Chains A and B, each alone.
Chain A
Amino acid sequence: MTQSGIINNPTLFSETLFEKMKKLCPALETLEMYEFNYCMENVVPDTGWDLVKIEPVAAIEKRITDIRFYKSIQINKKTNGSVELDTQVADLTRTLFLGLVTGAYPPEWIDAHFYFDPRGFLFFARTVYFTEKVKAHLRGKPYMTFEPRQRDFERVQGVGYKDFKAANKEVDKCFIRFVQKLIAHKKTPILLAIAGQTAAGKTEIVERLTNSFTSAGQHVTSIELDNFLTDRDYREAHGIDSEGKQALHFDLLQQALKDITQGKKISIPRYDFINATSSHDISGNLKPDGVPVEVEPADIIFMEGNFPFLLEEIVDLIGIKVMYLTDDPVRMKRKWKRDMDYRKKYQLNYFRNRYFKDQFIMAQIAYIPQLEVCDLAVDTTRAAIWASAEFATILDAK
C-alpha cells in the first residue's frame, strides 16, 4: 500500500495509527479498536488527511522549545459559548499522527520530544526540568534514588491520590527523613519553602511533614506569600505584574521573615481574595478597617507561594529550599481526576489548552530558575532526590 493509499483509507489509517500509538502510549492498549475510532472522531480533519502537512523535524523541535509558541496559544476562545481547542494544539497532534502513520517521524523521535495524554487524546511537548545548569548545581547526579513506581501510571488514564501516594512511598519517606536531619543541623526556628508545579503533590507532602514535626513536639506554622499582595486596583492601575516583588508589601515581608526566624510573634497583612484588597495600604500601614494575620512563633515556618526562591532579598532567610516535582504526564493524569472529575473546575478545552501552554511557560519562568538555586529537589516520577553540594555534605555527616 502506498502512502497516499493509507491517507485516503480511513480504516487503514486508523488501524495503522492505533498499533503504533499503543507502543508510544501503553494506556491505549486497554481500548478496543472502535473506542479508539471514537477518540479519532475529534481529530480526523474535516478536509481529510491530504491537507495536513508534514513539517521537518527540525522545524517542530524549534517551535516547541520557543516560548512564543506557547504564549500564542488561546486558552479561552469561544464559539457558541464553548471553549475551542486551540488550533495549534490540535494541529500538532494531527501532524504527529500523520507523520507516525506515514513513517515520516520515527516513534523514537516522537517519544523523545512528546508524550501522549490518553484522556486528552493529544500530544504534549515534554518539558526538560533538569537542564545541564540545574544538574551542575545539584552535583550532576541524584543524591538518592529508588524504584520508580510511577511507571505503572503509563497504563492508566487517570491517577487518584491513593495510587500516587503509594507509588511515592519510599522517596517521600526518605525526603521527610532528610528534612528532619537538615533541620536538626540548621537549628530552629527555620523557614522551609517547598515549591513545585500544580498537582506535583505539594499540599500533601507539606501536610505529612507537618504531622512528622508535630508528633516530634515541634511547633509548626505557615506564611502565605499571597497575603502580602497589595490591592489589585493599585497593581492594575500601575501595570504591576502579580508575580514580582513589586506586587507585594515587600518591606513588610522582609521584616516579617526576619522577625519570625528570630522566634518573634509577627503580625502580617491579610489579603482578601474575594475583594482583592489588602488589610494594609500601599505605604504599609494598617487600614482603619484592616485586620492583620497574627502568626505565633514556631520552630518550623512553611513558606507557601509559587516563586519564593526568586526573591533575591529574602532567599537567604529561607533555611531549606525544596523543589518538589512530578513529571508533566503524571500531573496531567492527576489533574484529570482531581480538577476535572472531582472538582469539576474547568471546561474541557480550556483545561487542555491551559495545560499545554502553562507547563512550558511555568517551567521556564518559575521551576527551572528555582531548581538552579534550590537546596533539595525531589523528582517523584524518577523516585530521585537531588541535593546541592552544601546540603549533600550535611546529609553525608553522621
Chain B
Amino acid sequence: MSELRAKAKDFDSRLYEKMQVILPSIGDLELYEFGYALKNLCPPQGWDSIHPLPGREIETLVSQRGFYEAIHTRRIAGDRIVLDEVIQRLTQMLIVGLLDGLYSVDWVNEHFYFDIRAFLFFHRTRYYTDEVLSHFGGKPALQFAAKQRQLEHLQEIGYREFSHANAEIDQAFIDCVVKLVSARGTPILITLAGPTAAGKTEIMARLLAAFAAQGKRITTIEMDNFLLDRDIRGENPMGVLTSHFELFKQCLKDIRQGKRVSIPRYDFINATSSHDQTGILKPGCTPLVVEPADVIFIEGNFPFQLPEISEAIGIKVVYLTDDPIRLKRKWKRDIDFRKKYDPTFFVNRYFKTQFLRGDDCYAPQMRCCDIVVDTTGAALWLTPQIAAILDQS
C-alpha cells in the first residue's frame, strides 16, 4: 500500500515539474494543490493503465469533427454531470506521454493548451489557415505589442485587464472602421462576428459610442430575431433554412435605402417567432420596428459570407481572441460572476464547441471578411481592397 502511495507521489511530483515547463503558472500551485486537482484525473486502475497513442494519431484525432461531435456535454452519473470520457482520456494520454517522453513539450504546446481551472488540455483551434492568410495578403496590416502575453500567468481574467491589454489594437480598429464608413458613405451595414468571450459586446459598445460622437444615427439588429420557431428549426444552427431568410434579405435592402423597417421578433422564453414559416405575421403578435439609421450593426453568428447577402454588407469583421484567453474570461464571467452553468457541463461544451464553431462559423467568415481583429496577436488584418481604400482616405 505504502509502496503504491510512494509511486503515486513520485508521479505527482514529476508531472508537477514537467507541467511547469508547459505552463509556468502551474508553479503558482503548491505540489499538494496540484495533487488535489490531478486526483480527479487519475484512472481507477492507476496511471499504468493509460496507453498514449502516437503523436501523429492524436493529431489526426483532434482535427476531425467526429471527435468533437461524439462529446456528451450533459451525461449524468449519480447526481452530477460528468466530464466526457473522450476529453478526460486525451488529457490522461498527454500527461502520461509527456512523462514517458513520447511527446515533446514543443509538440504538446503546438497543438494544445492547458487550462488550470479545468485542469485539462484543450486543442488549439487553427484559425489562420493558408486560405485565410492568402485572403489577407499573407501578413497583418498593423501589428502592435502582444500585451495579452502578460495575462498568460493569470488564472483568471476580468474585463479590466483584458481591455487594458487590447487598448492599442482596439483603438486602431475603431479608427479604421470610422475611416471606412466615411469613405463608403451611409447608410452602411456592419457585421461583427467572433467566438464567445472574444470581446464583441464591449468593442461594439465602443464603436457605437464613436459614431454617436460624430452625430451619426446608429442602430443594431439582432440576427436571432430572424430565427424560426424552435419546433420548426430543431437544434440546427442559424442559417438560410432556419431563419426568415427572405424577410432578412428584404430588411437589408430597405434599411440600406434609409427606410424604416419592420422585422420579426423572436421570443426567447417560448422559442417562437412573431412570424409564421411563410413569413406572415401571426395573429396577436407584434413585429420589431427599426428606425432608419446611418450605421447599422448586425449582431449574431449568421453565415454572412453567403453571396446573396454578402454584398449588402458594407464592412464584415471577425473579432478574435485566442481560445485559452477566452476560456479564462469565461471562467470569471460566466461561472464566477453569472453562475450560469455547471462547471463540468461548461468544460464539456467549451471543448466541443470551440472546434465545431470554428469550423462552422469563423473559418468560413474569415475566408471572406474584410477585417480580422486578432486581440491576442494584437494584429489587424485587412484585405488588399480595404487596405487600398484606407490608403486613399
Docked complex: B47-92 residues within 8 A CB-CB of A: 76, 79-80
- B184 in contact (CB, < 8 A): no
Partner of A81, one of B76, B339, B344: B76
Contacts of A161 in B (CB 8 A): 29-30, 32-33
- B268 in contact (CB, < 8 A): no
- A342 in contact (CB, < 8 A): yes
> Interface 1/0s, chain B 23-39, versus A by CB < 8 A?
00000111011101101
**Is A81's CB under 8 angstroms from B159's CB?**
no
Partner of A160, one of B30, B39, B76, B80: B30
- Known contacts A38-B338, A42-B339, A82-B342, A338 near B333 by CB under 8 Å: no
- Known contacts A82-B342, A157-B336, A348-B339, A342 near B37 by CB under 8 Å: yes
A81 to B78, CA, bound (A): 10
A161 to B27, CA, bound (A): 11
**Is A347's CB under 8 angstroms from B33's CB?**
no
- B107 in contact (CB, < 8 A): no
Docked complex: B106-157 residues within 8 A CB-CB of A: 117, 119, 156
Contacts of A35 in B (CB 8 A): 158-159, 332-333, 337
**Is B158's CB under 8 angstroms from A31's CB?**
yes
Contacts of B344 in A (CB 8 A): 344
Partner of A30, one of B36, B37, B80, B160: B160
**Is A342's CB under 8 angstroms from B36's CB?**
yes
**Is B33's CB under 8 angstroms from A38's CB?**
no
> Interface 1/0s, chain A 323-350, versus B by CB < 8 A?
0000000000000011001111001100
- A233 in contact (CB, < 8 A): no
- A44 in contact (CB, < 8 A): no
Q: How many residues in B have their beta carbons less than 8 Å from beta carbons of A? A: 28
**Is A42's CB under 8 angstroms from B338's CB?**
yes
Partner of B39, one of A38, A78, A343, A348: A343
**Is A38's CB under 8 angstroms from B333's CB?**
yes
Partner of A344, one of B158, B160, B343: B343
Q: Which residue of A lies closest to B343 (CB)?
A: A344
- A34 in contact (CB, < 8 A): yes
> Interface 1/0s, chain A 97-134, versus B by CB < 8 A?
00000000000000000000001010000000000000
- B393 in contact (CB, < 8 A): no
- B214 in contact (CB, < 8 A): no
- B182 in contact (CB, < 8 A): no
- A39 in contact (CB, < 8 A): yes
A244 to B220, CA, bound (A): 66
Q: Which residue of B lies closest to A340 (CB)?
A: B343
Q: Which residue of A lies closest to B162 (CB)?
A: A32
- B2 in contact (CB, < 8 A): no
> Interface 1/0s, chain A 34-67, versus B by CB < 8 A?
1100110110000000000000000000000000
**Is A344's CB under 8 angstroms from B40's CB?**
yes
- A162 in contact (CB, < 8 A): yes
Contacts of A41 in B (CB 8 A): 338
Partner of A347, one of B28, B80, B119: B80
A121 to B79, CA, bound (A): 25
Contacts of A157 in B (CB 8 A): 156, 336
A140 to B7, CA, bound (A): 49
Docked complex: B321-355 residues within 8 A CB-CB of A: 332-333, 336-339, 342-344
Docked complex: B234-289 residues within 8 A CB-CB of A: none
A347 to B34, CA, bound (A): 20
**Is B333's CB under 8 angstroms from A162's CB?**
no
Contacts of A347 in B (CB 8 A): 80, 342
Contacts of B339 in A (CB 8 A): 42, 121, 348
A121 to B29, CA, bound (A): 25
Contacts of B79 in A (CB 8 A): 78, 81
Q: What is the minimal beta-carbon distance from A41 to any residue of chain B, in angstroms?
A: 6
A41 to B340, CA, bound (A): 10
Q: What is the minimal beta-carbon distance from B185 to any residue of chain A, in angstroms?
A: 33
**Is B336's CB under 8 angstroms from A342's CB?**
no
**Is B119's CB under 8 angstroms from A162's CB?**
no
Q: Which residue of B lies closest to A40 (CB)?
A: B337
A289 to B13, CA, bound (A): 36
Q: What is the minimal beta-carbon distance from A86 to any residue of chain B, in angstroms?
A: 15
Q: What is the minimal beta-carbon distance from B29 to any residue of chain A, in angstroms?
A: 6
A82 to B29, CA, bound (A): 30
Contacts of B119 in A (CB 8 A): 342
- Known contacts A38-B337, A39-B337, A162 near B40 by CB under 8 Å: no
> Interface 1/0s, chain A 78-101, versus B by CB < 8 A?
100110000000000000000000
Q: Which residue of B lies closest to A30 (CB)?
A: B158
A42 to B334, CA, bound (A): 12
A81 to B76, CA, bound (A): 10
A82 to B119, CA, bound (A): 23
Contacts of B333 in A (CB 8 A): 35, 38
A342 to B119, CA, bound (A): 8
Docked complex: A13-32 residues within 8 A CB-CB of B: 30-32
A190 to B350, CA, bound (A): 54
A204 to B333, CA, bound (A): 32
- Known contacts A32-B158, A34-B159, A160-B33, A341 near B117 by CB under 8 Å: yes
Contacts of A119 in B (CB 8 A): 336
**Is B158's CB under 8 angstroms from A343's CB?**
no
Q: What is the minimal beta-carbon distance from B1 to any residue of chain A, in angstroms?
A: 11
A338 to B34, CA, bound (A): 10
Of A30, A119, A342, the most chain B CB neighbours within 10 A belong to A342
Contacts of A343 in B (CB 8 A): 36-37, 39-40
- Known contacts A31-B158, A81-B76, A81-B79, A342 near B338 by CB under 8 Å: no
Q: Which residue of B lies closest to A346 (CB)?
A: B80
**Is B36's CB under 8 angstroms from A338's CB?**
yes
A156 to B40, CA, bound (A): 26
Contacts of A337 in B (CB 8 A): 33
Q: What is the minimal beta-carbon distance from B350 to any residue of chain A, in angstroms?
A: 15
A39 to B39, CA, bound (A): 31
**Is B76's CB under 8 angstroms from A338's CB?**
no
A165 to B30, CA, bound (A): 10
Contacts of B28 in A (CB 8 A): 160, 162
**Is B39's CB under 8 angstroms from A32's CB?**
no
Q: What is the minimal beta-carbon distance from A222 to any residue of chain B, in angstroms?
A: 15
A78 to B344, CA, bound (A): 18
Q: What is the minimal beta-carbon distance from A356 to any residue of chain B, in angstroms?
A: 16
Contacts of B36 in A (CB 8 A): 338, 342-343
Q: Which residue of B lies closest to A81 (CB)?
A: B79
A337 to B337, CA, bound (A): 15
Q: Which residue of A lies closest to B31 (CB)?
A: A161
A162 to B28, CA, bound (A): 7
Given A165-B30, A348-B339, 20 more A-B residue pairs with CB atoms under 8 Å apart are A32-B158, A32-B159, A34-B159, A35-B159, A35-B332, A161-B30, A162-B28, A162-B29, A162-B30, A338-B36, A341-B37, A341-B117, A342-B29, A342-B36, A342-B119, A343-B37, A344-B40, A344-B343, A344-B344, A347-B80
For this complex, 9 residue pairs linking A to B, each with C-beta atoms less than 8 Å apart, are A30-B160, A32-B158, A34-B159, A42-B339, A78-B79, A161-B30, A165-B30, A204-B32, A341-B117
4 interchain residue pairs of minimum CB distance = A38-B337, A342-B37, A161-B30, A342-B36
